[in-house]
Structure 1
Amino acid sequence: MFKRWGILLAASVLLVACSEKEKGQEEVDPVEEIIEEVVEEVEVPEAEAAVLPFMAPFTGVGSEKELTQRPVLVTINNHPLARPQSGIAKADIIYEMLAEGSVTRFLAVYQSEIPDKLGPVRSARDYFVDIAKGLDAFYIAHGYSPDAQKMLNSRVVDNINGMQYDGILFDRANERKAPHNSYISKDNVLAGAEKVGASMEIRKIPKFSFVDSIEGIKIGNPASNFSIQYGSGSSFENEYTYISEEGVYERETGGVLTIDKETDEAIKIANIICMEMPHKVIDSSGRLQLSLNDGGRAYIFQAGIMKEIEWENIDGILMPMENGVPAQLVPGQTWISFIPTNPGLERMVTYLP
């Protein structure tokens, strides 16, 4: 019993001692040394963009696989009642040129990708066929001028035409009236090629040149906003505006943004090229003859800059040229506008504030 009380007493003394020690520590609390920890910033290198092994021959855009699709050239209706068009956002190149009067048409080139729906498809002209031949493209149209009909019937180019395949390969849209309602699908493009025995493997690679960086071409006259005027009205007045944040141009016609009907999104253009060439009226219907072989003056718009260059017909392909070599293009979609020598580039192409 005595031993038990002895142990309890010793424990009580120990607790009191500890308590006194803690009180002392509270009263005399040592000043803590604040040590500032210096953390060295370690630079983490940015991940380099993967270099893709292949390049699309008509756009210069990198690809994981080699693109062996033969180019497809489609006459696209550009009448105001045919807008907005389907599939134009996915074209590699779009040529715009006069048909009759002040009405223009598009020739849309598809090689990187054929969209699911194309159109409205419109009729052929002989110089449309010449462009298709130069590109070795599979050509699609609905209708033709007399000269174009002769060329197509003699198989100057592999082609299918809505005059023979209306309701078979070409479909009519109910929401539009003829001749602004003819469309063709990707599946029917390929089915049509098979029907006429046309190879869809690319056989001719264009010699377009592309820059590695957009910064390398920012030498020229600033031109972030300009217009191309076909005729006197606004229906075929095209205004292009450079979107610096994206490095591309958007396009308006008659004040209406050019969009793809299938996506409802604005088209994005990397290069706009204006090629000046003689135009001649050849019949009472106002049909034209264009001089595609002689070359001439040209403007190129890219990266918010305009340069005066030339164009040449090289092995059938109308090539932008600068100092005797193919002009360097920004990777992406290119629009090429054919400008009549009379009135000429200076009068049809206007800088805007």
Structure 2
Amino acid sequence: MGRGAGGRRAATTAALLAATVTAALAAGCTNGGGTTDDKRGSARQPGRESSPSATGPSAPSVLAVKIDNARAARPHTGVDAADVVYVEQVEGGLSRLMAVYATQLPKTVGPVRSARESDLELLRQFDRPTLAFSGAQKKLLPLIDRAPLEAETPGSAPDAFFRGSGRPAPYNLFLRPERLVPEAPGEAALTTGFRHGSAPAGGKATASQTVRYPAARFTFTWSDARDRWLVGMDGAPATTADGKRLAAATVVVQYVKVRESAFRDFLGNNTPYTETVGSGKAKVLRDGRAHDVNWNRGDAADGTAFTTGDGTPVNFAKGQVWVVYAKAS
């Protein structure tokens, strides 16, 4: 018999605090860029079930996994199977990835790292998504607990996470997705607002596009042979652990407001907050061309619409989409 909301919240809080100590002892080291996943813990009660709605149980939703992107965390595992890969700036000018899975689930994903406040707004576009992460700052945990998502960490689902060999902590935490989501929910769960179809008219022939953060760099190079944008990170080809080159069908460079948040890491570095609700400019890369477009997301529960100057919706190419959040000038 299910517990009431108050009981679930109490159980969640207890799990969070208990897992904080465990996570600190197991992982407690820097990410190579001056930040630490200190005071990280669980944000989900054991024995999770889909929360019922007024009309019955929720439909299956996406799995989102927070992935480290420090140099020591590469090559990644399972990122090539994601439907969407979001790139955001974190402390010290570094970057993290969020991989979203709907149409297929890889056997392993990682290395898994901590959540940020911006993730909660970004994930509101999905119907109670499952968010897998290594933990979060203690002050952020109550916000995660109240967010409309299913939060999963090593403290809440120990059988789904494991420490791999050959890498030091914290770069060796991996996830077995099928232990959280028994099967892929399907394309209908991708409520991103993205449209697929023929390419928009115009655009500029583009061989490569680079996006720079203070301490990270992404380059997308068009390959006629692959019909994809090959991903590069910090001047090197981005590959999976088994040697496959990461490649996107569509790349979106979305110019957004990146501001300070109320959170800091243990060194005192402020955690950037990436605002994904609002409107602005973007660049859509597909089929070897770059298109200057507008983006709009009126509410956190909405997906993001991309349109040309005259309001025509912009279609993406079929395949993996990378969305890189860049600071608007």
TM-score w.r.t. length of structure 1: 0.68
Partner residue in 1 for 2:255: 276
1:115-151 Cα shifts (integer Å, max 9, x gaps) = 0000111101111122122222211111113454112
- SS of corresponding position for 2:304: strand
Query: Which residues of structure 1 form unaligned runs of 5+?
Result: 1-67, 194-198, 345-353
Structure 2 residue 314 is matched with structure 1 residue 327: yes
1:303-353 Cα shifts (integer Å, max 9, x gaps) = 111111111115432333323343110111110000112xx3xxxxxxxxx
Partner residue in 2 for 1:145: 137
* 1:308/1:119 CA distance change after superposition, 3 Å: same
Deviation, 1:290, is 2.3
Q: What is the aligned counterpart of 1:223 among 206, 211, 214? A: 206
Measure the CA separation in 2 of the matches of 1:204 and 1:239. 26
Letter in 1 for 2:234: G
Checking the alignment, whether the CA contact within 8 Å between 1:237 and 1:254 is kept in structure 2 is yes
1:196-223 Cα shifts (integer Å, max 9, x gaps) = xxx96866744321114xxx44621111
Q: What is the aligned counterpart of 1:179 among 170, 174, 188? A: 170
- SS of corresponding position for 2:278: coil
Identity %: 18
Task: Please list, as runs of the form range in 1=range in 2, the aligned pairs for 1:1-353 lying within 5 A after superposition.
Answer: 70-136=61-127, 137-146=129-138, 148-165=140-157, 167-190=158-181, 205-212=191-198, 216-217=199-200, 219-231=202-214, 236-261=216-241, 263-282=242-261, 283=264, 284-314=268-298, 315-322=301-308, 323-341=310-328, 344=329
Query: Which residues of structure 2 form unaligned runs of 5+?
Result: 1-58
* 1:159/1:340 CA distance change after superposition, 3 Å: same
* 1:190/1:203 CA distance change after superposition, 3 Å: closer
Aligned residues: 261
Checking the alignment, whether the CA contact within 8 Å between 1:71 and 1:138 is kept in structure 2 is yes
Letter in 1 for 2:315: Q
Letter in 1 for 2:279: G
Checking the alignment, whether the CA contact within 8 Å between 1:96 and 1:107 is kept in structure 2 is yes
Measure the CA separation in 2 of the matches of 1:102 and 1:243. 29
Checking the alignment, whether the CA contact within 8 Å between 1:72 and 1:139 is kept in structure 2 is yes
Measure the CA separation in 2 of the matches of 1:320 and 1:78. 27
Measure the CA separation in 1 of the matches of 2:148 and 2:115. 13
* 1:247/1:128 CA distance change after superposition, 3 Å: same
**Higher percent of residues as helix:** 1
Deviation, 1:168, is 3.1
Checking the alignment, whether the CA contact within 8 Å between 2:250 and 2:322 is kept in structure 1 is yes
Checking the alignment, whether the CA contact within 8 Å between 2:62 and 2:126 is kept in structure 1 is yes
Measure the CA separation in 1 of the matches of 2:217 and 2:147. 35
Partner residue in 2 for 1:9: none
Measure the CA separation in 2 of the matches of 1:203 and 1:92. 11
Measure the CA separation in 1 of the matches of 2:154 and 2:311. 41
Letter in 1 for 2:207: S
Letter in 1 for 2:177: K
Measure the CA separation in 2 of the matches of 1:218 and 1:247. 18
1:66-111 Cα shifts (integer Å, max 9, x gaps) = xx85211110110111001100111111000111121100010100
Measure the CA separation in 1 of the matches of 2:279 and 2:138. 26
Checking the alignment, whether the CA contact within 8 Å between 1:223 and 1:306 is kept in structure 2 is yes
* 1:179/1:325 CA distance change after superposition, 3 Å: farther
Measure the CA separation in 2 of the matches of 1:204 and 1:219. 27
Measure the CA separation in 2 of the matches of 1:274 and 1:92. 16
* 1:203/1:219 CA distance change after superposition, 3 Å: closer
